[in-house]
Structure 1
Amino acid sequence: MDTEDEGWQMGIGGSIFLLVLGAILKFAVKASPDWIDLQVTGVILMIAATVGIVITLSFWRSKKSAEAQTSQEIRRTNAARREARRAEPAPEQRKPQQG
């Protein structure tokens, strides 16, 4: 696994962590300190996590699409090279050059 794959997995993992933390603050914590509204903080964390997941998945999808396109181009190039080799006469079939 290369570091780019680890990057998107960490993005998904971090977003899921924020989503869970936000849900805990919104739905499970009953304390209400005067200096912060934990329910609003939970909603903000859940929204941020959702945006993070969407962004991470869109980057991952575009990367996979680019990789697929590149591999298709490589296959086409290799196929063209094979066809060109087949079209060339074998060394023993070439006419000797007279000089």
Structure 2
Amino acid sequence: MSNRLGAIDPQELFPIASSLEGSVIDIHYYNLFSNSFNNMSVQQNIDFIYNNRSAQLNQVTTSNEPLTFIGEWVTEWKVSGVAKKDYQRFVKAKFNPNN
């Protein structure tokens, strides 16, 4: 199953998935499609990943809930003046938001 994109409850499918044997929920987190991220600086985007995304992941990866995975993510975003080093830092944050 895949959650809807956008500002929705990431656990909206948990009641259904919990009742189905072998179900998995595909979660998608994007900074690209939200204007609030586009208005942030490079560092603010990276800080969001470290300070908020890890909490969001913890919310959907509990032992009492269905199996979840991040099926897709992108490193593209609409922040102006982004250098290669900025993209690398952003990718590093996305690979390990708990670091």
What range is the shorter-chain TM-score in? under 0.3
Q: TM-score, normalised by structure 2?
A: 0.28
Name the TM-score, length of structure 1 as normaliser: 0.28
Bigger proportion of residues as strand? 2
Structure with a larger share of its residues in helix: 1
Task: Please identify the structure whose Cα radius of gyration is greater.
Answer: 1
Which structure exhibits the higher relative contact order, with contacts defined as CA atoms closer than 8 Å and separated by 6 or more residues? 2
